[in-house]
Amino acid sequence: MRLKRDVLDPQGDAVKRALDHLGFEGVKGVRVGKLIEIDLDPALASAPDLEARLRKMADEMLANTVVEDYEVQIVS
Protein backbone atom coordinates (compact mmCIF):
# COMPACT_ATOMS: atom_id res chain seq x y z
CA MET A 1 0.00 0.00 0.00
CA ARG A 2 1.11 3.51 -0.65
CA LEU A 3 -0.45 6.93 -0.45
CA LYS A 4 -2.31 8.07 -3.52
CA ARG A 5 -0.36 10.46 -5.76
CA ASP A 6 -2.47 13.47 -4.76
CA VAL A 7 -1.93 12.85 -1.00
CA LEU A 8 1.09 14.50 0.61
CA ASP A 9 3.75 12.06 1.83
CA PRO A 10 5.77 13.77 4.60
CA GLN A 11 7.73 10.58 5.31
CA GLY A 12 8.72 10.32 1.65
CA ASP A 13 9.74 14.00 1.67
CA ALA A 14 11.93 13.41 4.74
CA VAL A 15 13.62 10.43 3.08
CA LYS A 16 14.27 12.49 -0.07
CA ARG A 17 15.82 15.31 1.97
CA ALA A 18 18.05 12.80 3.77
CA LEU A 19 19.15 11.26 0.46
CA ASP A 20 19.95 14.74 -0.88
CA HIS A 21 21.92 15.52 2.28
CA LEU A 22 23.90 12.29 1.88
CA GLY A 23 24.85 13.26 -1.66
CA PHE A 24 22.60 10.95 -3.65
CA GLU A 25 21.92 13.04 -6.73
CA GLY A 26 19.06 12.72 -9.18
CA VAL A 27 16.35 11.55 -6.77
CA LYS A 28 13.27 13.45 -7.95
CA GLY A 29 10.85 12.11 -5.35
CA VAL A 30 10.25 9.40 -2.77
CA ARG A 31 6.98 7.74 -1.76
CA VAL A 32 6.91 5.48 1.31
CA GLY A 33 4.49 2.58 1.55
CA LYS A 34 3.93 -0.58 3.51
CA LEU A 35 3.90 -4.25 2.65
CA ILE A 36 1.47 -6.72 4.17
CA GLU A 37 2.20 -10.41 3.59
CA ILE A 38 -0.57 -12.91 4.22
CA ASP A 39 0.31 -16.59 4.62
CA LEU A 40 -2.70 -18.72 3.66
CA ASP A 41 -3.75 -22.25 4.37
CA PRO A 42 -2.76 -24.26 1.26
CA ALA A 43 -6.39 -25.26 0.71
CA LEU A 44 -7.37 -21.59 0.39
CA ALA A 45 -4.34 -20.64 -1.70
CA SER A 46 -5.70 -22.52 -4.72
CA ALA A 47 -9.26 -21.17 -4.50
CA PRO A 48 -10.49 -19.72 -7.81
CA ASP A 49 -11.73 -16.56 -6.09
CA LEU A 50 -8.50 -15.98 -4.16
CA GLU A 51 -7.64 -12.61 -5.70
CA ALA A 52 -11.18 -11.31 -5.17
CA ARG A 53 -11.04 -12.42 -1.53
CA LEU A 54 -7.70 -10.68 -0.99
CA ARG A 55 -9.02 -7.47 -2.57
CA LYS A 56 -12.05 -7.64 -0.27
CA MET A 57 -9.68 -7.97 2.73
CA ALA A 58 -7.77 -4.91 1.55
CA ASP A 59 -10.89 -2.86 0.83
CA GLU A 60 -12.62 -3.67 4.10
CA MET A 61 -9.74 -3.79 6.57
CA LEU A 62 -6.14 -3.54 5.40
CA ALA A 63 -6.13 -0.33 3.32
CA ASN A 64 -7.55 3.11 3.91
CA THR A 65 -8.82 3.41 0.34
CA VAL A 66 -9.63 7.09 0.78
CA VAL A 67 -5.92 7.96 0.79
CA GLU A 68 -4.13 4.71 -0.15
CA ASP A 69 -3.71 2.65 -3.29
CA TYR A 70 -2.83 -1.03 -3.08
CA GLU A 71 -1.96 -3.94 -5.29
CA VAL A 72 -2.44 -7.66 -4.77
CA GLN A 73 0.31 -10.10 -5.74
CA ILE A 74 -0.14 -13.81 -5.37
CA VAL A 75 3.18 -15.59 -4.99
CA SER A 76 3.37 -19.33 -4.56
- Whether 51 is covered by a domain: the verdict is yes
Task: Tell me how far apart the alpha carbons of residues 63 and 50 are, in angstroms, rounded to a whole number.
Answer: 17
- Whether 74 is covered by a domain: the verdict is no
- Whether 75 is covered by a domain: the verdict is no
| CATH number of the domain encompassing residue 18 | 3.30.1280.10
Task: Tell me how far apart the alpha carbons of residues 54 and 64 are, in angstroms, rounded to a whole number.
Answer: 15
Task: List, in sequence order, every residue forming a beta bridge with 3; answer none if it has no partner.
Answer: 68
Q: pTM here?
A: 0.76
Report yes or no: 1 and 66 within 8 Å, Cβ to Cβ.
no
Domains in the chain: how many in total?
1
> What is the mean predicted confidence (pLDDT) over 48-73?
96
Task: Tell me how far apart the alpha carbons of residues 48 and 32 are, in angstroms, rounded to a whole number.
Answer: 32
For 2-55, what is each residue's pLDDT tens digit? 999 999 999 999 999 999 999 999 999 999 999 999 999 988 888 899 999 999
pLDDT score at 46: 85
